[in-house]
Structure 1
Amino acid sequence: MPKQKTHKGTAKRVRITGTGKLMREQANNQHKFEHKSGTRKRRLDRDQVVSPADAKNLKKLLGL
């Protein structure tokens, strides 16, 4: 049986913490910053924990 390959698109978007949680970037933080308040930009800058419902499928894509 061949080895399982890591889904590279997922690997670029999700990182795993030391405790095994999956972290992702927030949406709306790429461009058009002149229309967004400083508070909103700082809030969007933080990474978010992936929801448990999605974590199972993402771990499978990452080969964990």
Structure 2
Amino acid sequence: MPKMKTKSGAKKRFKITGTGKVLYAQRGKRHGMIKRTNKQIRNLRGTTVLFEGDAVKVRKFWMPHG
């Protein structure tokens, strides 16, 4: 039986906390900052916790050892 591997794209995008929650960087800050308001840019800083339904899929399929 082959080993289960972590998806390399998921490694870069998600982090699993000690309690099992999944953190992710917010979308919308890669390019096009000129058209976003300062409030939008400010509110998109940092990381947030993924919704639990989506987090279950990330942990199960993409990061089985996380």
User: Does the pair score TM above 0.5?
Assistant: yes
**Which residue is equivalent to 1:34?**
34
CA distance in 2, matches of 1:30, 1:57: 25
Moved over 3 A (4+): none
SS of 1:4's partner is coil
2:63 is matched by which residue type in structure 1? L
Question: Structure 2: 5+ residue runs without aligned partners?
Answer: none
**Identity rate, percent:** 34
TM-score in terms of structure 1 length: 0.84
> Which string of whole-angstrom CA distances, capped at 9 and with x for unpartnered residues, describes residues 7-56 of structure 1?
11111111112322101111111111112122210111121211111111
Matched, 1:11 2:15: no
Q: CA RMSD in A?
A: 1.3
TM-score by length of 2: 0.82
Question: Matches of 1:40 and 1:7 in 2, distance apart?
Answer: 30
Across the two proteins, how many residue pairs are aligned to each other? 64
Give unpaired runs (5+ residues) of structure 1. none
